[in-house]
Every structure is written in C-alpha cells, then in structure tokens.
Amino acid sequence: MTASTFRIGGELDVGRLGFGAMRLPTEPGPAREGSLAVARRAVELGVTLIDTAYLYGWGANEELLAEALHPYPEGLLITTKVGLTRSESDPGWRFDGRPAILRDQVERALLRLRVERIELLQLHRIDPETPLAEQLGALRELQDEGKIGHIGLSEVTVDRLEQARAIVDVASVQNRYNLLDRAHDPVLAACEAAGIAFLPWHPVAMGEAGTNAEIAAVAAESDATPSQIALAWLLDRSPVVVPIPGTASMRHLEENVAAARIRLDPAQRARLDRLADPATGADREAATR
C-alpha cells in the first residue's frame, strides 16, 4: 500500500501530496483574494507541505503565504528557495549563489515568512560561477546559526547531488519530473537509495496528460481526471516522491488533493510505465553532466 507520509531529513513529517504556490497571483485585487483562499483551503484539505521561492514575485509569494496562513498551524512545512536574482535579460533571472547574496535572501525570507527558522531551505539552482563549496558552505553556516533546519537542492544531476552530499546533508531534491518526462529517473533512484525527499515540479505534465490516450483511458477506468492519474502514478512511483502540484483554481486544488486516494492496479501501472522509454532518462542525465 502506498505510504501517505514521508519524513524529510528524518525529522519533518509531511503528507506525500504537497502544494506549489508559484501560480498564485500576488497583485492586489480579487485575484489576490482568491490566492489567499486557495492557500487556506490547501491547509484545510490536509496539505502539510507548501513550496515557494524568492523567484516567485521576488518575495511577494512568500508574503502572500504569510498573510494567508500565519500563525502557521502545527505540522505545516513551508519551504522556500534562494539563489536566483533579477535580470534584465530573458528569462528575467540569473544565477547568484555568492554567499553574501544567499545569506541576504535567507534573512529576508525569514522576515517575509514571519519565522525565525526555515525548516527546509532549497538552493533554487547551483550557480556555475560560484564554487559549490562556497554556496553550500553559506547555507551550512546559516544552518549552524539555527536559521535553516534542512538544506535541499533543485535541478541537479546525480553527480552534482553526490558532490553536494560530500559537503552538507541533503534533505530534498526538487527536479522537473512527471509521467511523460522521466529525464531525472537516475536522480530519483539516487534519492530513493539515500532516503532523500524527491519533490517533482511540473508533476502533471500540464495539458500533455489530458491528450495522451493511455492516460485518458486509465482515468476513465478509475473515474478520475488525467491530472489525477499523473499524480497517482507519481505517488506510486517511489515512497520518497512528494509531488507539489500548483494551481490558483480552487477546483483544481481539490481535484489534485483527491488524487491521493486513487489506487492504480498493477495492470494500469504497467501501462503507464510503458509511456516513457526507460533509456531516455539515463541518456538525458548523462548529457547534462
């Protein structure tokens, strides 16, 4: 039977279906009010992990979550990410893992989230221009000061994960991964072997899941939506997987949370497993090293 919880870093118990706050509008007005309502509803529905980042509105998303949920209920984990700064060029951000920048971003996140400690702080991207030991060393210093509980990474290869683990304890990895995009299968395998939480972003493959005939067929058999099947497959894929689907829609939020109750039978799982070539993930992983 699929486990319903996972203990991140051996300490932080969370439900295995989280919520990604990236899509929540933060501008004043009705859309923001809707965002506040969606965040609160996520917690009402039992979500215990909410993912945000400095990049999401350059801190505005963190402020939104604090407005919606502070004082935070016991057991709620809000994780944020640092390591990117604004840029005038496309895509509007750039890597910046210099220790002073990381420290400043963490200090500001503490203020925006209205907490004294960020229980799970993730490095949004590894800065290729700053030595990895300096980036992780800065986060380890903040950890030693009690401002960070656990350290996570985002968009890393197996090699980078191994290098990072030689410097700090890595509690989580957040990579793009879903039923139709399994490029990071090797990273997931490494996380499973080490007991590291794997938080797939883009977990439902957006509109692709709805146009795939096999996913649609399994959805019809299960009285579910294609998005729910994509999430159910992820939950069944590995006990370390904690998907973080994001939405600004109350209906989609409730639909996503309900996916945790879906159970795929062995035949359905086999059909879905065949949708991606197992070799593809390994080939693409090797190409990014």
Residues tagged active-site = 56
289 in helix, strand or coil? coil
CA distance 240 to 218: 24
Helix axes 30-44 and 60-69, enclosed angle (nearest 10): 60
Nearest to 23 by CA among 247, 200, 202: 247
Which tokens sit at 245?
């689907």
* CA torsion angle 174 132 170 182 (round to 10): 30
Q: Identify the DSSP state of 70.
A: P
DSSP letter for each residue of 128-159: TTS-HHHHHHHHHHHHHTTSEEEEEEES--HH
DSSP letter for each residue of 210-241: HH-HHHHHHHHHTT--HHHHHHHHHHHH-TTB
CA distance 233 to 272: 8
CA distance 238 to 253: 22
Close Cβ partners of 90 (under 8 Å, ≥ 6 residues apart): none
Under 8 Å between Cβ of 17 and 42 = no
